[in-house]
Amino acid sequence: MIQINNLHKSYVMGSNSLHVLKGLDLDIDEGEFVSIMGSSGSGKSTLLNILGILDDYDEGSYYLGGKLMQGLNETKAAMTRNEMIGFIFQSFNLISFKNAVENVALPLYYQKVSRKKRNLIALEYLDRLGLKEWAHHLPSEMSGGQKQRVAIARALISKPKIILADEPTGALDTTTSFEVMDILKEINDEGKTVIIVTHEHDIAAMTKKIIRLKDGVIEEVIKNGDLQLFKDRVRTE
């Protein structure tokens, strides 16, 4: 599903150039449940942005679903994002003056689905996430967990191949965090590739594969079988 070879990315800030990703290689297959970890400055957010086609890279290659993602114009990038990727953000990023249904339906709006039809589909997704009664509430009237569930519904509605979640539990308390992770696990069980960026070990431990970044390269990859070891290590750290 995702193949990354020798990925380089640097940011120019005035006269300084910050080399963030230094020849990163990464393969993620369809249906994987992956978390990307790393301390701040390790390049995990940059990697997520490149994975989400929100940012371009300098060197190397990135294949998404077999297609090279490089030098796309904005319209094409937007289309690819819309079809292939569902985003979940730490701060939910719901549109404040739209109610839950309208927020969830937004990706379908950009696929030119008629209003009636997309609102119907959005309601279905909200129902699946247990938010049917909240369908016509504004984000400001909902709790953090509810907002994140609306955001998840929005990420799912366009039936993307990949769900990219940037610190999806960062703004939530532990109980709600686990609820959200359960939902993401369910989504993964249905066959979708889920990639989470997090710095919380217990959250990462709920995924099936952990990729630890350090200084712009992959430090270690912890696979399913080794997870117990990882959990023990986390406890002692």
Partner 1 sequence: MFDVDVWQEIFSTIKKNKLRTFLTGFSVAWGIFMLMILLGSGNGLQNGVKEQFADNSVNIMWMWTGETSMPYHGLKEGRPIKFKNDDYTFLKEKSEDLELVSSRFYLPGSIMYTYKNEYGSFETSSCHPALKEMEKVNIVAGRFINDLDMTDFRKVIVIGDNIKKALFKDEDPMGKYIKLNNVPFKVVGVAFDKKRQNERTAYIPVTTAQRIFNGADRVHSFAVTTKMVKTAEEADAITEKVRQQMAQRHNFDPADKRAMGSFNMLAEYIRTMKIFQAIKIFVWIIGIGTLIAGIVGVSNIMLILVKERTREIGIRKALGASPASVIGLVLLESILITTVAGYIGLLFGVSIMEGINLAIEQMLATGGGDGMFFRNPTVDFTTAIASTLILIVSGALAGYLPARKAANVKPIEALRDEN
Please report, as ranges, the residues that interact with partner 1 according to CB under 8 A.
Answer: 49, 52, 54-55, 74-75, 78-79, 81-83, 87, 89, 91, 93-98, 106-107, 109-111, 115, 154, 158
Nearest residue to 59 via CA among 25, 91, 93, 17: 25
| Beta carbons within 8 Å of 44's beta carbon, 6+ residues apart | 36, 37, 38, 197, 213
Smaller CB separation from partner 1, 62 or 206: 62
| Sign, Cα dihedral of 194, 134, 147, 145 | negative
Polymer length of the chain: 237
Q: How far is the CB of 165 from partner 1 (least distance, A)?
A: 13
- Bridge partners of residue 173, in order along the sequence: none
Output Rg (C-alpha) for the chain, integer angstroms.
18
Q: How far is the CB of 235 from partner 1 (least distance, A)?
A: 33
Residue 90 CB-density burial (10 A; 0-12 exposed, 13-18 middle, 19+ buried): middle
Smaller CB separation from partner 1, 80 or 176: 80
Smaller CB separation from partner 1, 95 or 229: 95
Smaller CB separation from partner 1, 105 or 218: 105
Q: How far is the CB of 110 from partner 1 (least distance, A)?
A: 4
Q: How far is the CB of 114 from partner 1 (least distance, A)?
A: 9
To which residue do tokens 């390790």 refer? 42
Q: How far is the CB of 6 from partner 1 (least distance, A)?
A: 22
Smaller CB separation from partner 1, 108 or 210: 108
Q: How far is the CB of 236 from partner 1 (least distance, A)?
A: 34
| Tokens of residue 206, six digits | 């709920």
